[in-house]
Structures are given as C-alpha cells and as structure tokens.
Structure 1
C-alpha cells in the first residue's frame, strides 16, 4: 500500500531525464521515417508522439491514405513512388493489408519503430516547453504523458520538429509564417495579389456499414439541420466513406492551431448532419440496415505554421522543376489548394495544378535559418503557401524526413550542425547515403566508387532483347487514345507491328511522341504522325517511323482514339515498360488535359496515365530493331528505378534459371550485399481504404539464392516481397565473386533487378 500524508507544497510529477543524440517530435509519417533512418545509422533517437498511436493523419484516428508523387496514378509522374523507409512501410502494408484497413496499418508503423533498438518511443507524450543554452541553440525539451503522469526532460545535441504545428520551432523562437504570401514577394503567379490569412482547413471522416436488420438513427442536437448549406451535398453517396470525404473540410478562416477544438465541433456537426441526411431524408434507397461504424475524434490538419529555413521553396520550383545541388528528395503531388470556407464553399473543393514531372526538394528547406541545431520536417518545412500545396502530402513528407534522419546521423558522427552539411562535400555524402537506402534523388545515382560491383566482371545467363510484346492478351477498344511507353535510342528509326480489329472501314492515326525533358513522361512533342486505312475485321499494321528521337529517352507509340478500332494487348509485363492512356482521373483534377487560366504560371499539357492492375496490359507489338535496354551493365549504374531508361537487368523469359555471376580479379572484403528489386514504383500503394489487386507486385523476385564461386550457399530468400533485400555478413568476408540464382516472378513476368550493391 502507498500512503502519503498531507503536503503543504505542490507535489511534483514523476520526472525522467533522457539524454539522446536526436529528438524527433511528432510521430506522423515524417517523424517515423526520420527516426527509423537515423536509428539504422547507429545513433540514439527519442521519438515523441502526443497521440496513442503513430501515423498522424495516416493513423486509424484520422484515416487519410498516404499519397505523394504518384497522385493516384493520375498524373504523368511515372515510377515516382517514394523510396527508402517510406517505400518499405507501404510495401509491408501491401503484403499484410492490401485491403487498406487503417487499424492494421497502425500495427505496421508501430512494429517498424519498435523493431529499432536505437529508438526510444514515447507515445501519449506532448512536448510543451523548450529550453535553450543560448539564443540559437536548443538544449532540451519538456514533455508530459497524462497516461503515466510522468514529465520528461529530453536532452540532445539535435532536434527535429515534425509535430505538424511546429511546437518546438515555435517555442524556440524560429521565424514562421501562416497564410499566403503575396504574388510580389516570390514572383508566384498563382499567389494572390495581396497576402491573406486564410488556410487549408481540417477534415474529419466517417465509416458506415451494412447490418442484418434495420437500424434507426436519431441525430444529436448539434447535428447540421439544413444539408443545403453544404453546396456539394448532392454529390454525397450512401456508400462513400473515409477519406473519399476529404472535402469535409473546415477552419480555413480560423486559427488552425488555437481553434482546433472549435473546428472539430463544426466538423462533427457536418458529419452527423450528413448521416441524418443519408438515413432519414428519403433521398437514398437501401439505407435501412446501415449504421455508423466509426467517426473520427481527431481532425486531420492540413496547414498551420510554416517555418523559414535556409531556402524557401516556391511555385516556380515545383512547376519549372528547378534543379538544386542539395536535392535530397523529389515531390510530385499537384499544387493543391482549397477554398478557405471548405465544406461550405460554393467553389470546387480543391484547385490542383500539376507540373509536367517530379521536382527536386532541397536540403536547405529542412534546416532552420534561426536555430542552429533544429531540423524541420513534415508540413512545416520552408516553403511558400503555394509550394506547400504540393510538399505537404504524407508520402512526400515521410520521404523528405529520411534525409533529416540521415543528416542527423552524419552530424552526430562528425560533430556538425545541420547547416554544416552544406560545407566540405558533406551534401554529396548525404545524397549517396540516402540513395544507398533507396532514395532515388533525381539525376543523382549511387556513386559508382561506393559499390564494389563496379570493379567486377558481371555476366548474366541471359538478357531480355525486346523484339516482341507477345500477342496473347485481350482486345482493348480505343475509345480513348492509348500509348506504349518504350525506352528508345536516339537517332534510331523504329518500326512497330500491331494487330487491330475494326468494326467498319475507318482510319487510325498513330503518332511517335516524346517529352521535351528526357526525365519527364509528358508526351507533348509529336515527332511524327501517320494515318492507316483499316478494313473491317482483324488485321496487322506496320508503323515505320522515318523521324527519330534526338536523345535517349522514353518514347510513346501512340494510337489516337477511334471507337471503331480495338488493339491487341499482351499478358506479358516487363520492368520499365508501360502502357498509358489519355483518360480522366477526377480524384486529382485530371480531365485528360490541364488547361489553366492564363497568367498563373502553370503549364497546359495532356495527361497520359496508366490503368491500375489487373488492367493496364501492354500493347502487343513486334519491335524493330529490338529494344536492348536490359543488360547486366545496368546492375551497377546507380539508378534503382526506371529513369530516362529502364536501368534494370531483365532476364529472358525463356531462361529457366536466370543467373548473374560477379567475379573480381582479386578477393574483396564484403560486409553486406543489397539487391534493389522491382516493387513497381508506378503503383501508388495508398495505405488505407482504397485496396490493391495483389499483396506482392507481379515484378517482384520472390525466390533466389546467393552463392560464392565454389557453389556454397551464402544466403537464401524465399517468399520475398520487399523492394530492398539486405544481407549482412557476421564479419567481413573475403570473396572472389558471387553467383545469384533467381526464379522468374511468374510465367508472364521475367526476373529483373535494378542494382546489386556490394560493400
């Protein structure tokens, strides 16, 4: 028994002091990815999260799906899903939870963090104060856990604020902004003529379910009475749920930090009023047995403070795809801004303007310009309101925060402040370390000198020579224009033989297209157009283009829409080969073509996007000359996804036992081997609600062995589904070479690898 007598003084809570290398405040996707990345590099991390679970807006408390540059496959950013830890988490979730259960995703995140012995995780713990050793340096933060009634004093040389509202950066005195900059300040044509304080608001969602008997619903007194005050109420569907109601948004004209509770009550008012409308208005059939299953209790925040770093990203950096020497990640979500009145606005729920491709995000935007030992991460990074419209989404914030975690490890190892990473070549070290974990910084490959495979003789048992995409699939009606993307060579004349079926005599137009920028996949350049007179019925046509590409890049063999024509497809899928369609994706304001108003600094262009599996088959064709882009030379080129070319070794499907043999002229000491495999970076892998067709992507090598040159098995892998496979030797091992023996993923998909990394 514990018993204390009366104490005249105020009692103190239990206090615990923690000394660590890096404190990460905020356990959303950004904080999680930063903490895991830093911990895996060997430094001690304390991750402080004020909620009972991790994930922030992606958690089961809010249930927003994670998205980034892939944008629901609704833009032209091919193979752009974020890499590294962010990819690892999403691929793990796909394998365990392809249906998109937000509660299961909670467990995926928590397991990832708990598996890292260098992370001390404090859930239900809110940071509320900051102590500085001088004007520009944080010494410690103070936090309180109401569940265990404990105060924490957490000391460290480095801090990362990924808290969403920027509690640490704010308390430390760092410069910040709220609202929109004027057009004049940064020359952003999409910015308003005058600065204003309106923000993107909060959102809350609900889930409903069908039961086996009628369920009545009596709304609470505070529920919205007049549904017509929600201008978009007629777009409400009885089966819609979760973040498909992203437009249930409110608070843009309020203080989104200090008035969050008031905003929450207004959103509850809307949700319960909407459910009353669905259940009791008589406008919906088949709702008698439906009931509310879940309503959010925590609003998902979009915008509050943005802090000033060493560089502030702006609209032009997104749209014009500015190149930065200190790039550490890429973005690709549209500039996505919402009306301040949210759910009560007469305007569209969002205004999304896409760039033609992905864009660089610089390291400097994550370093506070005022506080020497403070990193910024998540939605509070240094960006204007307009650029923030793109950088704010969760896959992007998690992806970028990996750079913070890696930079923190370099800082601890070298006794540096964050800004000093920009000096003495350390930014190159940071970029390379990130790429080795799968970051894929634009146009920055893994340094060849860091990969021992580049000093070896590498031979494969076979390599794909793509002379035919077999004619073994279904017919696809050309009700929309369609194209086959292929990595083509400059100054080469190509011919393509395809099989078509016409319902009547008609004319089919075929074009060879490509992108202005080699690294983009927006086919705005029409190189050549040909017309073919078709007879009724099935027939082959041979398209021989007389004009050529000027540089090595992806070309689009494009078949313009004609409802009277169908084209033969293929069941075979190949790494780096994709069909795209000039269709529509309303979820991301894609109407087939982006046509912005004049003078807002946004490009006009067409969208050519894939169809999700199990659809999206390649267009069957014979190709002359064959595309030889899949040799073993790609295995050490430093690129671990398609970019300008396939960058993959792909075996021939007829090769029954695909093998890669690596031989050095003398023994090398190896500590680890990494394989970078194909988890289809083009598939968005939304974390919740949406669901996905497979638990393992069809390009993934699942079974293989690694041997030494004497045939002794060093490592065996069965049932793999992850993008990066890492094997560490117990101690450095001298080897003259390695033999990798793979199984094809399936009879329709050949084995493929982007990179074999040996160190």
Structure 2
C-alpha cells in the first residue's frame, strides 16, 4: 500500500469552534481505477503486477460489484451456463484465476467466500492502494483537450477526503461517474435501427433500458416458521404477470427476473427503483409463505434480502468504435481485438416484473466474437480508459457485453494497455497503430488472455528454440465402454479434433431392438473456432441387425485443416449406444438439447428480418453425469503432441493445442533441450482447468473442486537440479520466478499428480 500524505496532520482535542473542513489526504499514482467491481479489480491487478502504481477506488465496503455478497449474482460470460454452442469459452487471465480459486475453496457457492478471494488477490499487490467505502465526487480536467488531472473522493467511514492525481484514469464504476464528471461523451437508451443498421433495434431511438434486480435467500429451519410481511410489501401479487412461475426452490439470482426500473432514470432514480424492488421482493416472499399455495415453504425462513440492487444498464460511453449487433452476431473481425464475448444479445422489457412480456429475449451467435481495443477508451477525454458495462457499445450489443466475466476480461486488456501507456508515456489512443496493438495482444496472451484467432509468439520465449520431446504421447485409439448405455431418443454427437487429411473410421458399440438403420453425419463449423455444426461434410447410413454389435462409420471425405468436427448420430428409438466415462481434453459428447436458462427451444428461431441466425443448440452434460460416446478410432487420433505446448494457443480451439501423455505413462515428462545452454529466470506452465466449465461463482454449487485433467502436482528440473516442486496445484497457470537465473541446456517438467482424466499441458514457456 502507498503512503498517503496528510495535508492537515494529526490533531488533538479541538480548541476552536465554527465551520471545519474534512481531513484531506493526497495520493499520486500512475493509474486511478474508479470502481471495484470485477472489472475494476481485474484492471487494477493486471496493471499493478506490471509495476503500475494503482489506486483502486470503490464506493462499497466490499469488492466485486454485482458478484459481491451485497448483490450475489453469479459470474458468467461467453460460456453462458454451458447453454450455447461456445465450447471451451471461459475467459482467461485474472478472472479465470478468481473462478478457478473459487471452485477450489468454495464449490458450495458462498458469496462471502468469493468476497474474500477478491480482497485477498487485491491486497497481495503492493502496487495497489485500495480505498473502500470511497466515492469519487469530482474531477479536475485541463483546459483545451480535457485530460483528467485529478479526482476527489470521500470515504464515509473515516471522514477523509482524498485528492488523487495520475496521468491515466480508468472508469470501471458501472454508471460511469468519472467519465460523466470529466465530460466524456456517453449515451443512454436504445439507438434507432437506422443509426447502425441493427435489425433488433427499435425503429426510433427511445429510453429503453435494462432494469435493476434484487434477490433474497431462504433457509430451511426444520420447524414451522411464521412470516409477517412489512407493511410496504406488495399485496396484490397478480400485478406481477409472471407470478404463476414462482417456485419455492428459486432464490438468489435465480430470481433475476425480479427486475424493475428500465423505464426510469437508472442513475438518478436508483434509490426509488430499489424501494420498488423491496416492495416486490418482500411481496413475493409473503405470497410464497402465506398464500397457502406452497406448503413446502412452511419451514423456510427469509435468510437474506439484498440491500442494493444489481444494476444492468445506465450510461454507455463512446469510444473510437462502438460495438453493434452485427459485430456480435456476425462475429466480425477486428485487427485490434484484445478480448472476446459470447453471451447472448440478452434484452429485457423496460417495465421488468410488471411487463406482460417475457422477462428476457436471448439471441445467440454461432460462436464467440472479438472486442476491439477502440471500444475501451473515451473518444474525447484523452487519458480515460473505459471498462465494465460502460464499454463503447450500442444498446443492442450491450445486451451481450454487459455480463461480468466479459467485462472483467475486457478490463484485463485495459490494465495491460495502461502498462504500455505508463511505461512509454502514451495516451490510450496512441496504442491503436498496428505495431502497438500487436505488442498489446502478445502481452495479454502471455498473461492468460484468450483472443480468438490470435496466437502467442513471444520472441523472448526460449521454448521456441528448444527441441521438445515427451516420455510418451497419447494416441487415442478408443474411448472405452463403461457398461452404460443411452437410447438415441435425441441426436448425439462426439465433438473431437481431427487432423487435416483423411477422416478416421469410427466404430460404435450399439444395441438394436430390431433390424434398423443408423444415420450418421460428419459436420464442422463454418468459421475457425466455432463449434456450431453448420457445414455438413458427409452422410453415411449403417445397417444394423437386432442385438449388440459394432457399427462402423466410414466417411468418404477429408479435412482441409485441423479443426473440431461432429460425428453426429440421428435419433432412433430402437438403438442404444455404449457410453464411456473417459474424459479427454478437447473431446466432448453433445446432445441436441436446450438449457432453459438461456434458450427457449432446441433450435434458435429468431424473427424474420432480425439479423440473427437460425441454428440448433448442441450442449454437453455437466459432470458427474457427463459421459462420452464409447468409440474406437482407426487410425488412432494422433493430435496430442509435445510440440503443442508452444503453438501459441492455450485451450482447445480448432484443435487440442495440448500435450497429453499415454494413458499408461506412470511419470509423464516433457523435456526441453537446447544445443547451447540458455540462461533462464522464469518458467510458465499452463494446465487444463476445463475452459468449457462456466464455474458459476455463487448459488449453484459444484460437485468438484479440481478439474479432471488438471495437473495437481509437478516438478521442474534443470538437469538434476530441482527448480520447483509443487505438491498442490489447481490453477490454470503456474509462473515460477527463479531467485537467481540458471544456465542450462535442459529443462524437464514431470507430472506427479492429476485429476481423474488424462493430464494435459497447454503451454511451457521459458524466459
């Protein structure tokens, strides 16, 4: 923490009367981040880790914003509850650290524990000065070009006023208080259809906003509990058109649809909106307890009621580029991509809970979309970064970009951009030339960020010049049958990476009630990285006799490049297929089904002329129920090579991109050797923490603490010298800084422990 200079000094007993002023403390830093939600925290930590002295100013007593124990919304992003076709799409970097750590410490989903993780990660950073309960209320700007020179903030707990100066500022406050005070251009409400050509937009611009939500939790006491509602509780529950959908089992953010305020001013009237939401929430609970329609609620008590609502939308600020519906749905390419999103365009009626319309409409794209750097700084305040939900986006695109994991991932890009600006005395817009963007992208990738379509190729990484070998390499000949069977009452598919060239032959173990036929198809995606099957490559029909038998699927086609493909089995109620409990990185079994939390049907069927695609949802099942199709491959899948650890992609993306050892390798080891000795001071290793898992932070609860393919124990050696020996690991990335650089011609990484699946390593880097 930085020392704050007290301009008044310590005082004893007062001997004067009359007006007084608050104590003022001055702080000079490199970067001021206003707002301590997930976005502000990720931006501050990213910058601080690279030596940027950062003030993180948060007007609440805890960090996390809507993810905190004050609001208790689960963290989600491109994975969308595993309810869309975005496979392996969990965000990387700092937000990934939080979610993985929360799984390890807090699989039950306790919001208070998540608070503590965010606070711990922030307090670790000596370059962060954290000011909680401190609200920014004024900003000083230079005449002329309008740079911010300082902000003033008041802490209600210690009655201190802070004056904070810096060359760079970041608004992560949600409502955009700093941008507003500094004169940054912003918008409120929905743009007209004509402005950006967005077919989901209204014909004329309007004030439509997404409202606030406020939740409650219940607890089963084991004995009858009487509930007397407050006088202000909503008495006529029929005023809520969806009241018939109430369920006793719903609490916390499953009550997201208790929403109100989108037709009001969500900044200046937020307190009035909160009181209305209290009225609704207490009225809902009173109805559940006292209407007689829910006898199962007899022993439940009201455990917690939210005290501040979770905000969705207010001001959106203007950058040099505004993201639109087309960027999201069409997955448009941006040369300055530094992040990605994948939540649906998720729009809510302005009247919220009082609207007769559905609580939301969600329109998904066929895959994730990239977010350009030009959306992350103000177009008219030259030293102001924008992150969180105030990103430069239209109201329609905001329906997707607003979710917390996406906001946090964007914020890591902002934090890294601030590092470049500080070190090279640049302003945010100065980073837009291609050479600067390329350097920013590489720095982000090196610190765990995923940017679809961009590979890490760090010229400083000495792994690029090494000869990389392994003790063994998986050649996957089959996913062994476990003795479980599933009837083909819905279409199933094995999603797997296939190499360029001839497609292998696939053999299923099946049971047929009668002589019948099994229709099989091979599909792939129309865009690199997409896992929506929309390009059919081949169809075969396999004749089956009655009884148990092998079914050989021989497609007469080839792959033009390595990519994920779907071996798809059509519905046939007379056929059952053998299942496997084996799990392998980059391989999933999917069904054509829907997740009611984020979709309304098996096939997304948007209105005509909406600009949204029609396609089927293909979803995996969550563990521990998840199973793969038992299948044999001829020839064996040979894609899991040691060379993958330096191919620049650290997750399954148009391929495995990982080294996996053979199933029977007792001590799997990677070896890097050089013709000439290398001086090494830092080693980075990335593991498989299942990027397909959303890791919802609160409420849901999860059955596992460590992901199945994660390396849980390992050792790194230089020749015979042990550089690090790790007994417990659950995180995605391990970075080891040597106290003294070592000169060696050989490094080995030995896997000593792992989860239930074959372990996987995505990258090994040396500096």
TM-score (norm 2): 0.97
User: Aligned residue for 2:673?
Assistant: 663
**Structure 2 residue 396 is matched with structure 1 residue 390:** no
Quote how far apart the aligned CAs of 1:743 are.
2.9
User: Aligned residue for 2:751?
Assistant: 742
SS, match of residue 370 in structure 2 = strand
Q: Distance in 2 between matches of 1:241 and 1:537?
A: 48
Q: 1:408 aligns with which of 413, 418, 431?
A: 418
Q: 1:61 aligns with which of 65, 70, 80?
A: 70
1:544-583 paired onto structure 2 within 5 Å: 544-583=554-593
User: Aligned residue for 2:604?
Assistant: 594
User: Aligned residue for 1:178?
Assistant: 188
SS, match of residue 72 in structure 1 = helix
User: Aligned residue for 2:88?
Assistant: 79
Closer, same or farther: CA 473–434 of 1 in aligned 2, 3 Å: farther
Q: Distance in 1 between matches of 2:721 and 2:158?
A: 53
Q: Distance in 1 between matches of 2:487 and 2:218?
A: 37
User: Aligned residue for 2:341?
Assistant: 331
Quote how far apart the aligned CAs of 1:573 are.
1.0
**Structure 2 residue 499 is matched with structure 1 residue 489:** yes
Q: Distance in 1 between matches of 2:543 and 2:600?
A: 32
**Structure 2 residue 41 is matched with structure 1 residue 32:** yes
CA contact (8 A) 2:442 2:458 kept: no
User: Aligned residue for 1:373?
Assistant: 383
Q: Distance in 2 between matches of 1:291 and 1:548?
A: 61
Q: 2:322 aligns with which of 312, 315, 328?
A: 312
SS, match of residue 564 in structure 1 = strand
CA contact (8 A) 1:473 1:571 kept: no
SS, match of residue 76 in structure 2 = coil
Quote how far apart the aligned CAs of 1:731 are.
2.8
User: Aligned residue for 2:766?
Assistant: 758
Structure 1 gap segments, 5+ residues each:
none
CA contact (8 A) 1:590 1:607 kept: no
1:621-700 paired onto structure 2 within 5 Å: 621-700=631-710
User: Aligned residue for 2:23?
Assistant: 14
Q: 2:409 aligns with which of 392, 399, 404?
A: 399
User: Aligned residue for 2:430?
Assistant: 420
Quote how far apart the aligned CAs of 1:615 are.
2.1
1:685-739 CA deviation, whole Å, 9 max, x = no partner?
A: 0110011120000010011111112x12111011210000010011322221101
SS, match of residue 62 in structure 1 = coil
Quote how far apart the aligned CAs of 1:210 are.
0.9
**Structure 2 residue 510 is matched with structure 1 residue 500:** yes
CA contact (8 A) 2:468 2:643 kept: yes
User: Aligned residue for 2:131?
Assistant: 122
Q: 1:246 aligns with which of 256, 267, 271?
A: 256
CA contact (8 A) 1:653 1:749 kept: no
Q: Distance in 1 between matches of 2:703 and 2:222?
A: 28
Q: Distance in 2 between matches of 1:51 and 1:579?
A: 43
Q: Distance in 1 between matches of 2:435 and 2:698?
A: 40
Q: 1:433 aligns with which of 439, 443, 453?
A: 443
Q: Distance in 1 between matches of 2:434 and 2:574?
A: 63
TM-score (norm 1): 0.98
1:229-279 CA deviation, whole Å, 9 max, x = no partner?
A: 111111110121000000000001000000000000110011111111101
Q: Distance in 2 between matches of 1:286 and 1:245?
A: 18
Q: Distance in 1 between matches of 2:430 and 2:702?
A: 43
User: Aligned residue for 2:3?
Assistant: none
1:205-220 paired onto structure 2 within 5 Å: 205-220=215-230
Q: Distance in 1 between matches of 2:273 and 2:396?
A: 23
User: Aligned residue for 1:462?
Assistant: 472
Closer, same or farther: CA 603–117 of 1 in aligned 2, 3 Å: same
User: Aligned residue for 1:109?
Assistant: 118
Superposition misfits of 4+ residues, deviation over 4 angstroms: none
CA contact (8 A) 2:593 2:618 kept: yes
Q: Distance in 1 between matches of 2:53 and 2:180?
A: 24
Quote how far apart the aligned CAs of 1:590 are.
4.8
1:98-149 CA deviation, whole Å, 9 max, x = no partner?
A: 1111111000111010111111000000000001123420000000001100
**Structure 2 residue 154 is matched with structure 1 residue 144:** yes
CA contact (8 A) 2:715 2:752 kept: no
CA contact (8 A) 1:518 1:554 kept: no
CA contact (8 A) 2:542 2:552 kept: no
Quote how far apart the aligned CAs of 1:540 are.
1.3
SS, match of residue 196 in structure 1 = coil
Q: 1:265 aligns with which of 255, 275, 297?
A: 275
Quote how far apart the aligned CAs of 1:593 are.
0.8
Q: Distance in 2 between matches of 1:424 and 1:580?
A: 39
Q: Distance in 2 between matches of 1:374 and 1:636?
A: 36
Q: CA RMSD in A?
A: 1.3
Quote how far apart the aligned CAs of 1:502 are.
2.8
Quote how far apart the aligned CAs of 1:212 are.
2.8
CA contact (8 A) 2:259 2:352 kept: yes
Q: Distance in 1 between matches of 2:575 and 2:108?
A: 36
CA contact (8 A) 1:448 1:636 kept: no
**Structure 2 residue 169 is matched with structure 1 residue 159:** yes
